[in-house]
Amino acid sequence: MIGKKGTKENRYESLINPNKAIADQYLTWIIETKKGQVLTGLIVEESPELIVLRDGNGKDYKIDRKDVESKAKGPNSLMPSDLINSMSEQDLIDLVDYLATLQTAAFSPEWFHIVGPFDNGVGDENFEKMGEPEAKVELEKKLKGKSGPVAWSKVRASFNGYLNLALHFSPESNGIISYLYQVIDSPIDQEATILVGADDCIKIWVNNVEVFKDKNHFAAQPARNSVAVKLKKGANPVLIKINNGEGEHGLYFSILSKEPIKIGAKQ
């Protein structure tokens, strides 16, 4: 979003001093375990039981939440602070001018509210049955899940935008249904395009209107499907219903819009 959301001065500043205002996807985290081990890196997966941290060498560490002593945001961005050192003045000018030409902002929510798991039944038989969130989303309400009461929590996307629901619901990720919910804020009434790739079946509602359904059992792939939608000025609630037969489970989700959008302040 660097090329879309700021003035030319903002773009220069973002390149020269990337640590001044760090976007969530570039945040480093410092985690100290109860054994005194200190790890620094990018959180690529997160569930109620587990955190997966990727260090600067690309090595992943799986950390049980019960073993975490402290967790804090690091002071530096993952975006290289010396990026412009290898560029000439003209290269920098050309890059800033190019960023200004980007007309479509791609937005991938960093997190969603999520509730589940619910029972998928045999042969996806429960996927077409209306669940409570389809009638009304009540984030404070507990619902009857597959193995007992379930409550809304949060799931974070990894650095590449993937929402790993198999990890989130592990070890109960086969034969399930779940719902994801987020409010998207738009500065104007505008047309937009949802890009989605899910594993497995999926339905999407925008502003309480069903805009997409796919009952195929495919592996998740970014932008496999594109869906034209209309966003209104202000809050636009998005509800996603997704199921899993067995194995890998998750989705990629992003929105293209001419004017930049963001997660709504009021959920």
Q: What is the CATH number of the domain that holds 179?
A: 2.60.120.380
User: Which domain, by its residues, includes 167?
Assistant: 106-263
pLDDT greater than 70 at residue 101: no
Q: Using an 8 Å Cβ cutoff, are 54 and 42 in contact?
A: yes
> What distance in Å separates the CA atoms of residue 245 and residue 172, rounded to the nearest whole number?
11
- Which comes out higher in pLDDT, residue 207 or 72? 207
Q: Read off the pLDDT of residues 127-156 as tens digits, 9 standing for 90 and up.
A: 999 999 999 999 999 999 999 999 999 999
Q: What is the CATH number of the domain that holds 22?
A: 2.30.30.100
Same domain, 129 and 80: no
- Which comes out higher in pLDDT, residue 164 or 90? 164
- Which comes out higher in pLDDT, residue 99 or 64? 64
* Helix, strand or coil, per DSSP, at residue 146: coil
Same domain, 250 and 123: yes
Domain boundary at 40, 73, 103, which? Answer: 103
Domains in the chain, number: 2
pTM, two decimal places: 0.68
Cα-Cα end-to-end distance for the chain: 23
pLDDT value at residue 3: 43
> What distance in Å separates the CA atoms of residue 129 and residue 52, rounded to the nearest whole number?
34
Domain boundary at 85, 103, 121, which? Answer: 103
**Mean pLDDT throughout 180-197?**
96
- 168 pLDDT band, cuts 50/70/90, is very high
Domain boundary at 55, 77, 103, which? Answer: 103
Partners of 235 in the β-ladder = 185
Q: Read off the pLDDT of residues 11-51 as tens digits, 9 standing for 90 and up.
A: 556 665 555 554 555 578 899 999 999 998 888 777 788 89
Partners of 50 in the β-ladder = 64
Same domain, 147 and 174: yes
Same domain, 87 and 29: yes
Q: Give percent of the chain above pLDDT 90.
A: 61
Same domain, 118 and 244: yes
